Structure 1
Amino acid sequence: MAEEKEDKKEETTEKKKSPMMLIILLLLVILVLGGAAAGYFLFMAPKTKEAEAKNATKAAPQAHQVQQGTYIPQRGTLAGPIGPIKDLDTFIVNLTDAQGTRYLKVKIGMELSSDQLSAEIDKKLPQVRDEIITLLSSKSFADVSTVAGKRELKREIISAVNRHLATGQVVRIYFTEFVIQ
């Protein structure tokens, strides 16, 4: 009889512990999932539509204008022959983002107006790379995450590089690798 009472006590305490452990485990799972969701929305979620609309409404120059030594081809001219291409080494820079640390890894190919320009770029490579690194590191995720932002970045790179060139100009920029992390 005494043994039966002890067995019953053990069973009742086990039954009481089981629902309590289940509740604690369930609360722990909910807490972890909530923390993961909050972390995603704070650090990884894309900017709001308002920020994208703000970037899209920036005044963009017409496709046939020449600004600050920047040549932007007219519609339909991309189908023609292209000039010599000068590939630059990979650029890895920090983006200026208030939401956290983001990196931009980009590889650039520059279409040149003449073959002789490649030699001039080789001589001025430190200045050219410095201009591009300075420009890239001044951008935020919102600036370079949209197609319009990438096109604007190409225009700015062309303008920055052409300021250093005397024997020709960079006609177009091609992003052969573009990774934001």
Structure 2
Amino acid sequence: MSDSAFHVLANLAQRSRTSAAGLPARQDAAPRWSGIGFALLGQKFVAPMSHVSELMELPSATRLPGVQPWVIGLSNVRGRLLPLFDLALFFGGSMTSPKKHQRVLVLETDSLYSGIVVDRAFGMQHFTSDSYTQVDDGMPESIEGFVEGAYNDMHGEKWPVFSMARLAGDNRFTNAALV
């Protein structure tokens, strides 16, 4: 009886292999670009995956004396002190969503570990590389220097690419002490 069961299973395996559809050809797939989507000043942006090491809810923070108003404070995240910055206030605006929707994009480089607070996060966003385009007019002047083009999603919506690296290299951002 076990020989019969073995032959039935072998026959089933053979039929499965012959009727299985193959995987799509690799050359048919368009190159893709991925980033973390977020909202700031009422507009959607996307930051390159390589610029954001973590996405988290807004933790409690301790205020710091003698700093710019856009510095929210320091937060203890898994034993590390994470400075938190209100990105909308840095650009001269204000947050438009309640605190429960605000998120922190963690920027971590060799010399900088910072939490950038944004109105809302949309998680990973994927775009085809050929949908890259220049940013149209209408971008707030204070943000223009931090945007490196844009991607169009499959619905035709434009997502400007916000460079966290440019933010980390900006002297106004890295020198947050009141003068």
TM-score range, shorter chain: under 0.3
Instruction: Give 1 or 2: higher strand fraction.
Output: 2
TM (norm. structure 1) is 0.24
Instruction: Give 1 or 2: higher helix fraction.
Output: 1
Structure whose CA Rg is larger: 1
